[in-house]
Every structure is written in C-alpha cells, then in structure tokens.
C-alpha cells in the first residue's frame, strides 16, 4: 500500500486535538484495503475481481451515548466528525465509563511466513481455482454442482484516539471454500470444505486432499444409511470441537450480550462451574508463536479501540473465570479490557467479538475415547449449524457408529443438538490431540465474515441428542 496512507496520521491527530474537548471519547479509524474475489460455479465464472478501497469511521462518546459516522471521501472527514459528535451529544444522558487503556503510538504488521497475496497475480489465483474446480467436477458423474471460491484481503488501518493513541496496523487474510453436490434419483447430498490463513498464500496451494474429500463425502453419502435418532455418547473430532467452542460457548462469553441481558449475566456469572476440572477454554488474538496461540485467522496486535490484544482464559479448571470485553463493557462490569472490540470494516462500529477461541488439549489418548462405548457415534468435520442462546444444532460432515468400543458402519444426516451448559458438564474425556481450524468466518450484529480461528482436541460427550430416522 502506498506511503501516502501513513501521511494521513498527522491529519487525524490534528483533528482529534481540535474536537476531543467536545466529547468524552473520540476515535478516527482510517482503513485501506486491497481485495481479490473469485467464484467458480460448475463451469462458469461468477466473480473475478480485484479492488482497492479507502474509507474510515468516526466514533464519539458523550455521557454514555455513542455517535458513529462512516466515510468514503476524506474531504468529508470534518463533516463526519461533527456528525458523530452531534449524535453522541444528542443521545448521551448518563455517564461514560470506559476501562482505562495506556495510550500507545506504534506501527505493527501481523507477520507473513510466506508469500503476500498482493504479490500473486490474478491469473495465478484464477488458475488455482480452476485446478481445484477440475478436481471436483472430475470426481464422479453424479456431481451436479461444484463451487470454488477464493478471497483475500490486505488491510492497513490507522487508529487515532482522543487519549493519545496513534496505531498503524496491517495484515493479510486469505480464504478458500469448496462444495460439491451429488444427486441420485431424488437424493441430494453436499460435501463442503473451507480453509484460510493469515500467514502465507502457499497455505492455499496444496489443498487437493481437502477438495477431493468434499466431493467424496457428497458421493458416498448417497448410499449411506441415515442414523437412527436417539441420545448417544458422542466422540467429536477437533474441527467439531472448534465449532462447538466458538458457536455454542464463545458467543455467550461476549460481554455485550451478557451486559444487555441480566438473565444471561446471571447464568454466566464468574465463579460458576460449567465442566470438569480438566476443562480449560481460552480466547486470544496476540500473534505469539506458541502451541495454543500462533498466528491464526483471528490474530492482531490491537483491537479497533486501541486495546492491546490479550489471551483471556474463559474457563479454568471447569469454572468460568473470564469474558470478552470492549472498553465500555469492561468499564461497566468493573473488569479488565481484553482487546475484543472488532469491526468487519470501516462501515461498521466495533462490537465485542471473539478472536481465536480454543479448548486446551487433555490427557486421554485419542484411541481410548471410543473404548467402553457400547453404542455411540463418532462425528467429524462440519456441514452447517446454528445457535440460539444456549441451545445449539450442528451437522457433522462425516460420522460412524461406535459399537462395543469399535468404529462400525458409516452413517449420514448426523445432527447434534443440545444445551451448551449441559453439554460442557457432560464432557467425559478430553483427547490429547489438538487442531486449529482456520475456516472461521464469524457473524454477529450484521457483520458477517469476520476472520476468526477456533480449535481444540477430540472430545467424548455423553447424552447428546442426535436427530435422524425413528424406528
């Protein structure tokens, strides 16, 4: 990105100094993004684009009321500042309570371990998509529809605050999605795979096995029996564990939801036991090279309020000990800010969002998780899912019956549902494996597709409701 972008720093700090006395808190966030998007559907190109966008947002807080204004034209910045301030002063009627953060002036970039996607030409990216699409289409003649999508985004952000912070931060993020739909008579089955990276373009260039797996699962599912709906002991793989901890538990840990819902705040009260002493759950964005928090899809150095990225333990030894915060939720609940105020881009105001969320590995050898299970289910990968408060429903990408402690016949249409708190309490064993799933695109508050990471070990869970055929 051009050096002229950094020259805007002085302009932002001058305007902050001019207007900061009119409100309790003022920020200007300037963003420049370069993006590539490619979508192939069967044998057609539906999207093939490169774009550069420059814009920003102004946030103002006065007596607890917030004003927000976004802009695409820097010449309108003064008008947008005055607009945000006027809105904040119009709605503010109590007091501004923000958890304190030390001002910082810094330049940082989430480091790449390989090629920057901006240095890869569009033709090369298109050829990669073509290769994967050919793999899908050639797998079996019963495949009626295939899709391959590629997206990358390189963002550079300048954040200036009325407290003296001036942060320049940048990163690149990449993602690919694959799907294959198979049909036989009136039966239709779909296989999906998604992966991403915040480290290197090369992470997306050797995905043949995953691509073929999506097609294979769709074709194989046409001839598999449906599972009988019942309550089972279930063993799930790390990918489903990551989905579970993010969707079913992680969103409940976002303090804006709890702050706005007294009943949920009571349910999610600190010190409450939710699982066995072996259960440890974390969320962290800091790009630290360690086993549990390397550079994942949700890694950054500072959030969109200028709070340093941290690692927050949410559950320790089975007990709730933390939650995720913006500066406002932390201030109003009397807790420390965690650096989890994030926005999808400059069109949206920051809200409390997860970064990289995981369950720590346990001590049970993976091969021992199915031992002693007379009749159960082993489920891996994901096909889809949804949550509603503390209730969840997830569809597994693949599944097998467990009979007398051994894997038995494969089955399809395995949908796991339940209450997250009961499910956490019903975790019987935590595997000694671990895997990071980089396929996350999180949605909340109208901001869908925010990059996140999630991970964990395999889990053995008793009394899981699985929908399917009845007797």
Residue of 429, 367, 384 lying closest to 234 (CA atoms): 429
Cα angle for residues 287, 289, 295 (degrees, 5° grid): 40
Residue of 135, 147, 141 lying closest to 219 (CA atoms): 141
207-229: pLDDT as tens digits: 999 999 999 999 999 999 999 99
Question: What is the rounded average pLDDT of the residues 275-304?
Answer: 85
User: Is the confidence at residue 440, as pLDDT, over 60?
Assistant: yes
User: Is the confidence at residue 249, as pLDDT, over 50?
Assistant: yes
pLDDT at position 471: 46
User: Is the confidence at residue 1, as pLDDT, over 90?
Assistant: no
Considering the domain architecture, whether residues 340 and 410 belong to the same structural domain is answered as yes
The domain total for the chain is 2
Pairing of strands 375-388, 230-236: parallel
Considering the domain architecture, whether residues 125 and 189 belong to the same structural domain is answered as yes
Please check whether residue 162 is in contact with residue 20, taking contact to mean a CB–CB distance below 8 angstroms.
yes
Residue of 273, 281, 253, 302 lying closest to 442 (CA atoms): 253
CB atoms within 10 A of CB 2: 10
122-137 helix and 208-221 helix, angle to the nearest 10 degrees: 30
pLDDT at position 467: 83
- Local structure of 12: helix, strand or coil: helix
Please check whether residue 393 is in contact with residue 460, taking contact to mean a CB–CB distance below 8 angstroms.
no
Considering the domain architecture, whether residues 128 and 258 belong to the same structural domain is answered as no
pLDDT at position 320: 98
What predicted TM-score, i.e. pTM, was given to this entire model? 0.95
Question: What is the rounded average pLDDT of the residues 169-182?
Answer: 97
Give exposure, 61-72, as e/b (b: 16+ Cβ within 10 Å).
bbebbbbbbbbe
Cα angle for residues 203, 386, 286 (degrees, 5° grid): 45
Mean pLDDT of the chain: 94
Considering the domain architecture, whether residues 180 and 290 belong to the same structural domain is answered as no
Is the sign of the CA dihedral 41, 45, 51, 53 positive or negative?
A: negative
406-431: pLDDT as tens digits: 999 999 999 999 999 999 999 999 99
Question: What is the rounded average pLDDT of the residues 439-459?
Answer: 93
User: Is the confidence at residue 163, as pLDDT, over 90?
Assistant: yes
Considering the domain architecture, whether residues 188 and 240 belong to the same structural domain is answered as no
Considering the domain architecture, whether residues 187 and 304 belong to the same structural domain is answered as no
CA dihedral 453, 456, 458, 462 (to 10 degrees): -100
Question: What is the rounded average pLDDT of the residues 55-70?
Answer: 98
Tokens 């709605």 locate to 91
Distance CA 307, CA 69 (A): 21
User: Is the confidence at residue 2, as pLDDT, over 60?
Assistant: no
pLDDT at position 468: 62
Please check whether residue 300 is in contact with residue 169, taking contact to mean a CB–CB distance below 8 angstroms.
yes
Distance CA 155, CA 117 (A): 12
Beta pairing partners, 245: none
pLDDT over 90, % of the chain:
91
Considering the domain architecture, whether residues 31 and 53 belong to the same structural domain is answered as yes
* Structural domain containing residue 191: 3-221
- Local structure of 244: helix, strand or coil: helix
Considering the domain architecture, whether residues 295 and 151 belong to the same structural domain is answered as no
Question: What is the rounded average pLDDT of the residues 269-295?
Answer: 84
**Residue 4 pLDDT level (bands cut at 50, 70, 90):** confident
**Residue 33 pLDDT level (bands cut at 50, 70, 90):** very high
CATH of the domain at 28: 3.30.2290.10
| Full DSSP string of 370-396 | TTT-SEEEEEEEEEEEEEETTEEEEEE
**Residue 143 pLDDT level (bands cut at 50, 70, 90):** very high
Question: What is the rounded average pLDDT of the residues 56-71?
Answer: 98
> Of 221, 252, 270, at which residue does a domain stop?
221
pLDDT at position 305: 97
Residue of 6, 297, 347 lying closest to 167 (CA atoms): 6
Question: What is the rounded average pLDDT of the residues 298-321?
Answer: 97
Considering the domain architecture, whether residues 105 and 241 belong to the same structural domain is answered as no
Distance CA 325, CA 336 (A): 8
> Of 221, 251, 272, at which residue does a domain stop?
221
- Local structure of 310: helix, strand or coil: coil
> Of 174, 204, 221, at which residue does a domain stop?
221
- Local structure of 435: helix, strand or coil: strand
Question: What is the rounded average pLDDT of the residues 263-277?
Answer: 95
Considering the domain architecture, whether residues 334 and 274 belong to the same structural domain is answered as yes
Question: What is the rounded average pLDDT of the residues 104-126?
Answer: 96
Strands, E assignment, 3-114:
25-41, 44-62, 65-71, 105-109
Residues in CB range of 464: below 8 A, 6 or more apart: 231, 232, 233, 234, 377, 416, 417, 418, 423, 426
Considering the domain architecture, whether residues 102 and 210 belong to the same structural domain is answered as yes
Please check whether residue 388 is in contact with residue 369, taking contact to mean a CB–CB distance below 8 angstroms.
no
Question: What is the rounded average pLDDT of the residues 185-204?
Answer: 95
pLDDT at position 383: 85
Distance CA 227, CA 400 (A): 9
Considering the domain architecture, whether residues 241 and 199 belong to the same structural domain is answered as no
User: Is the confidence at residue 289, as pLDDT, over 90?
Assistant: no
């Amino acid at each position: 990105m051009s050096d002229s972008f950094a020259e805007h720093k002085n302009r932002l700090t001058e305007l902050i100094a001019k207007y900061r006395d009119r409100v309790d808190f003022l920020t200007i966030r300037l963003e420049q993004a370069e993006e590539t998007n490619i979508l192939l559907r069967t044998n057609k190109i539906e999207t093939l684009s490169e774009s550069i966008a420059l814009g920003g947002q102004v946030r103002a807080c006065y007596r607890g009321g917030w004003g927000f204004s976004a802009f695409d034209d820097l010449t309108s910045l003064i008008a947008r500042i005055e607009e945000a301030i006027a809105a904040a002063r119009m709605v503010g009627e109590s007091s501004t309570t923000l958890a304190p953060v030390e001002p910082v002036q810094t330049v940082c970039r989430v480091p790449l371990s390989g090629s920057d996607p901006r240095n890869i030409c569009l033709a090369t990216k298109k050829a990669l998509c073509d290769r994967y699409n050919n793999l899908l289409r050639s797998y079996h003649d019963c495949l009626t529809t295939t899709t391959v999508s590629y997206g990358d985004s390189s963002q550079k952000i300048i954040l200036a605050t009325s407290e003296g912070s001036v942060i320049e931060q940048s990163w690149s993020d990449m993602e690919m999605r694959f799907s294959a739909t198979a049909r036989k008579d009136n039966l239709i089955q779909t296989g999906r795979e998604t992966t991403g990276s915040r480290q290197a373009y090369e992470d997306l260039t050797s995905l043949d096995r995953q691509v073929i797996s999506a097609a294979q699962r769709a074709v194989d599912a046409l001839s598999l029996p449906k599972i009988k709906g019942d309550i089972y002991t279930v063993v799930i793989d790390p990918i489903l564990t990551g989905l579970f901890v993010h969707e079913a538990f992680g969103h409940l840990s976002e303090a804006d939801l709890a702050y706005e819902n007294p009943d949920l705040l009571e349910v999610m009260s600190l010190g409450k036991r939710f699982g066995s002493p072996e259960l440890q759950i974390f969320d962290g964005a800091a790009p630290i090279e360690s086993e549990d928090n390397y550079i994942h899809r949700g890694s950054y150095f500072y959030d969109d309020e200028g709070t340093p990225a941290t690692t927050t333990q949410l559950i320790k030894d089975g007990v709730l000990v933390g939650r995720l915060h913006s500066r406002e939720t932390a201030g109003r609940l009397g807790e420390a800010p965690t650096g989890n105020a994030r926005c999808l881009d400059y069109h949206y105001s920051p809200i409390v969002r997860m970064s990289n969320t995981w369950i720590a590995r346990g001590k049970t050898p993976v091969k021992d998780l199915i031992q002693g299970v007379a009749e159960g289910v082993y489920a891996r990968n994901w096909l889809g899912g949804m949550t509603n408060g503390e209730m969840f429903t997830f569809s597994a990408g693949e599944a097998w019956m467990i009979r007398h402690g051994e894997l038995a016949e494969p089955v399809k249409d395995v949908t796991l549902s339940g209450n997250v708190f009961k499910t956490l309490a019903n975790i019987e064993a935590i595997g000694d494996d671990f895997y990071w799933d980089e396929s996350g695109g999180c949605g909340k508050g109208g901001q869908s597709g925010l990059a996140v990471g999630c991970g964990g070990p395999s889990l053995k869970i008793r009394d899981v409701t699985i929908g399917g055929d009845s007797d």
